Amino acid sequence: MTRKTTGITGYGAYVPRLRMERGAIAAAHQWMAPALRGLAKGRRAFCSWDEDSVTMAVEAARDLAAGRALHGPHGVERLVLASTTLPYDDLQNAVLVGSALGLGDEVFTLDVGHSQRAGVAALLDALRGAADRGSLVIAADRPRARPASVQEMGFGAGAAAFAVGGDGVLAELLGAASQSVPFVDHFRAAGKRYDYAWEERWIRDEGYLAGVPPVIGAALAKAGVAAAEVKHFVLASPWRGTAAAVAKAAGLPAGSEADALDDGCGFAGCAQPLLMLAHTLQRARPGEVIVLVGFGQGCDVLVLRTTPALQDFKPARGVAGALADGQVHDAYLRMLSYDDAIELEWGMRAEKPVKTAQTEEWRSRGQLGAFVAGRCRQCGQVQFPQLAYCVTPGCHAPAAQFDATPLADVPCRVLTYTADWLSYHPSPPLYVGFVQFDNGARLLMEMVEVGSAGLEVGTPLRVVHRIKELDRARSSPRYFWKATPLQA
């Protein structure tokens, strides 16, 4: 029997639109940490108040799909979400992502975490067992750093998604090797907000340089590939120069190190190696060998080779498109506020109760989760939310005569808008207005990340998955969909 090739069949990525000038961070701490000026080049991504690892994972998968359905008889059967910064400790986060993507109730979902190695490990696990089923592996992370730390300058946020299976393979797995050891480079204890890291030289010399090259050699041997054949070497590290040093120690070609995405993104935790892999695939050519490393309490090393099918696949934007769509900020306190690292006085209007009605959320999950409207078969009207009867005057067809119509990927534009400075909003002003969809749907929506150009009637928009409200009393986010300008 001919062995069916297993590999990556699609990829996508997401980097938050908001970018903080590193110079602004260094300037804020000049009084007590002047040495940070040496790290003040470029910009790093940071999450808006309504973004987290769940919303970033959804957006990365949507980038992979690029308008194509992920569900159906030949769609995703298994969804794995890797992160070290998931919003819930005891409520499966992957099922929230699957719901937003409309994958259906039959999909198997799993959360993976607790190590910077989690993203690459999840991908390796899928590649080893996905020949007969479609898998979706997503890594999304937003590592937090203590203000005035070196990590605050280098950390970022982002997500990468990979479809894995046996049909239409873009990059096939040639071989892999792993090492699991209790080497501690950093840790974050349960219930704590920030990592505790050891000294950089110790991590580089005893962790990366001593531990990774032998595993690279073992993986190349299993793949039957010589070190000189490697075209792209993907190793993520918060310490600059680490990848080049490891490549040299492993005998890989000079200059094979992948772009670390330092400017515009920063180090995005366990999502970083997969973000770098997605960026590499976006620029690679067929027949090239890629070595991917996931580091953390040992390492996993994958050897991949791209195929001719790589030229036929395009994500909606990919890493390059996400990096180009940046909105630059220099208000350092904005970043702290969005990350709940500073407590501001928002006034009495911020004291409203926002407890989620779980009963209604469950009953309406078919509409709310994946943003599904109803199209009346009798008159063609598209309406959201779906009511018991059609709202068109003179029609009144029952809901049983509606067809499910997803709205998340439908082009839309501003119909009306207002900027509200009186209502409480974590990112004032609150932009809200009617959004007109090209399929005829029209609804009132919140509009986010409105840049200096502002809004006009007719401004093109796209729909994004975000946190609608945060129930701070119960530490629970409620997710929904918002609109944002196509261009930052």
Q: What is the 3-state secondary structure (H, E, C) of the chain?
A: CCCCCCEEEEEEEECCCEEEEHHHHHHHCCCCCHHHHHHCCCEEECCCCCCCHHHHHHHHHHHHHCCCCCCCCCCCCEEEEECCCCCCCCCCHHHHHHHHCCCCCCCEEEEECCCCCHHHHHHHHHHHHCCCCCEEEEEEECCCCCCCCHHHHHECCEEEEEEEECCCCCEEEEEEEEEECCCCCEECCCCCCCCEECCHHHHHHHHHHHHHHHHHHHHHHHHCCCHHHEEEEEECCCCCCHHHHHHHHCCCCCCCECCCCCCCCCECHHHHHHHHHHHHHHHCCCCCEEEEEEECCEEEEEEEEECHHHHHCCCCCHHHHHHHCCEEECCHHHHHHHCCCCCCCCCHHHHCCCCCCHHHHHHCHHHHCCCEEEEECCCCCEECCCCCECCCCCCCCEHHHEEEEECCCCCEEECCCEEECCCCCCCCCEEEEEEEECCCCEEEEEECCCCCCCCCCCCEEEEEEEEEEEECCCCEEEEEEEEEECCC
pLDDT attached to residue 2: 45
| Pair (183, 308) in one structural domain | yes
Give the separation between CA 463 and CA 486, rounded to whole angstroms: 9
* Residue 179 structural domain: 7-338
**488 vs 165 pLDDT, higher one:** 165
| Pair (306, 417) in one structural domain | no
Banded model confidence at residue 210, pLDDT cuts 50, 70, 90:
very high
pLDDT attached to residue 87: 96
Mean pLDDT of 358-380: 91
Radius of gyration over every alpha carbon of the chain, rounded to an integer in angstroms: 23
Q: Each residue of 118-142: pLDDT tens digit?
A: 999 999 999 998 555 689 999 999 9
Check: pTM over 0.75? Answer yes or no.
Answer: yes
Banded model confidence at residue 389, pLDDT cuts 50, 70, 90:
very high
Banded model confidence at residue 3, pLDDT cuts 50, 70, 90:
low
At how many degrees (to 10) do helices 242-249 and 210-223 cross?
60
Instruction: Tell whether 330 is covered by a domain.
Output: yes
Q: Are the C-beta atoms of residues 437 and 410 closer than 8 Å to each other?
A: yes
Give the separation between CA 92 and CA 480, rounded to whole angstroms: 17
| Pair (139, 213) in one structural domain | yes
Does 159 have pLDDT greater than 70? yes
Q: Each residue of 300-325: pLDDT tens digit?
A: 999 999 999 999 999 999 999 999 99
Instruction: Tell whether 396 is covered by a domain.
Output: no
| Pair (411, 299) in one structural domain | no
Mean pLDDT of 135-164: 96
| Pair (418, 309) in one structural domain | no
| Pair (411, 330) in one structural domain | no
Give the separation between CA 53 and CA 84, rounded to whole angstroms: 9
| Percent of residues, the chain, with pLDDT higher than 90 | 85
pLDDT attached to residue 474: 87
| Pair (364, 290) in one structural domain | no
Give the separation between CA 283 and CA 277, rounded to whole angstroms: 10
Q: What is the mean pLDDT of the chain?
A: 94
Residues 244, 263, 275, 336, Cα dihedral to 10°:
120
Token look-up 């992957």 returns 94
Banded model confidence at residue 471, pLDDT cuts 50, 70, 90:
confident
Give the separation between CA 270 and CA 286, rounded to whole angstroms: 27
pLDDT attached to residue 69: 66
pLDDT attached to residue 349: 84
Q: Looking at the 3D structure of the chain, how many domains does it have? A: 2
Token pair of 405 as six digits? 């119509």
Query: Where residue 424 sits, what CATH number does that domain have?
Result: 2.40.50
pLDDT attached to residue 131: 53
Q: Each residue of 413-437: pLDDT tens digit?
A: 999 999 999 999 999 999 999 999 9
Instruction: Tell whether 389 is covered by a domain.
Output: no
Instruction: Tell whether 365 is covered by a domain.
Output: yes
Distances (CA, A) of 383 to 51, 107, 439: 27, 28, 10
Banded model confidence at residue 66, pLDDT cuts 50, 70, 90:
confident
Give the separation between CA 343 and CA 421, rounded to whole angstroms: 20
Mean pLDDT of 296-300: 96
Omega prior to 385 cis, within 30 of 0: yes
Does 113 have pLDDT greater than 70? yes
| Pair (81, 123) in one structural domain | yes
| Pair (236, 367) in one structural domain | no
Does 339 have pLDDT greater than 50? yes
Instruction: Tell whether 103 is covered by a domain.
Output: yes
Does 299 have pLDDT greater than 70? yes
| Pair (216, 360) in one structural domain | no
Distances (CA, A) of 477 to 55, 87, 89, 310: 11, 8, 13, 38
Give the separation between CA 140 and CA 143, rounded to whole angstroms: 10
Query: Where residue 217 sits, what CATH number does that domain have?
Result: 3.40.47.10
Q: Which residues contact 369 (CB under 8 A, 6 or more apart)?
A: 99, 100, 102
Instruction: Tell whether 376 is covered by a domain.
Output: no
Instruction: Tell whether 391 is covered by a domain.
Output: no
pLDDT attached to residue 356: 81
Banded model confidence at residue 366, pLDDT cuts 50, 70, 90:
confident
Q: Choose among 289, 297, 85: nearest CA to 195.
A: 85
Token pair of 95 as six digits? 């099922």
Q: How many CB atoms sit inside 10 A of residue 205's CB?
A: 12
pLDDT attached to residue 73: 54
| Pair (305, 411) in one structural domain | no
Instruction: Tell whether 393 is covered by a domain.
Output: no
pLDDT attached to residue 1: 39
Banded model confidence at residue 68, pLDDT cuts 50, 70, 90:
confident
| Pair (40, 173) in one structural domain | yes
Q: Each residue of 32-46: pLDDT tens digit?
A: 999 999 999 999 999
